[in-house]
A and B are shown apart, each in its own frame.
Chain A
């Protein structure tokens, strides 16, 4: 019995190459509405760096289920707390992912969700504080589209 030969490896790999390249080529032509989401959420103000720690895998094993954890530094008191956090993905067909709303009863401004990423892209989080100030963080997640379909 032989090992997988070159031709077989190519045939099996072919599907992967097509799948990986096609969405990327398409994305370059279709505009993702990330800018609109950001504009609406920030009212045109520029968010500052810091306060947010955004945890995502560097490489997602499968774009269907990518774990996302977020933690925003805040005392969470009536004087100063995190109100809303918008999460968007700049390479998905629609940029919107989720908008989290915290209260004083949240105790901590942290949450975990699982998200879908269609391709390699940036995930952006913008936090709006009780005093109106804005903070932003982003992470790039590489999404491989491969494996055995079946």
Chain B
């Protein structure tokens, strides 16, 4: 799970502009419904929560269930009123958290 998440957002935005953010993270999203070759259920292991905040304030978050595809793709919007830093986090069932940051500037 050391893979870097993939994130796409503009480098700068006009004040008050609503931008689109695309994220993709590498994860098997094991549903807990599958069985291995011996017929034993493979235990569930998913990303169960995604969150995005901007300069410490929540922007968007979601609770995820096993019905989310492997390598979860999440796209959402954000209204940019000031320059700053987006923080992204993906929380695994095992408690580990994948994090990433992206900066955005205001258009002059």
Contacts and interface: CB of A to CB of B under 8 A. Distances in A.
Contacts of A64: 69-70
Contact of A103 (B18, B60, B65): B60
A47 interface: no
Nearest to A117: B67
B68 A106 contact: no
A105 B58 contact: yes
Nearest to A116: B67
Kindly state the interface size class of chain A when it binds its partner.
20 to 34
A94 B79 contact: no
Given A106-B79, A107-B77, A111-B74, A116 B59 contact: no
Contacts of B77: 106-108, 110-111
A146 interface: no
Interface string B56-99: 01111111111111101111111100000000000000000000
Given A105-B59, A105-B79, 13 more contacts: A64-B69, A89-B67, A93-B33, A98-B64, A101-B60, A101-B61, A106-B76, A106-B77, A106-B79, A107-B79, A111-B77, A115-B67, A116-B68
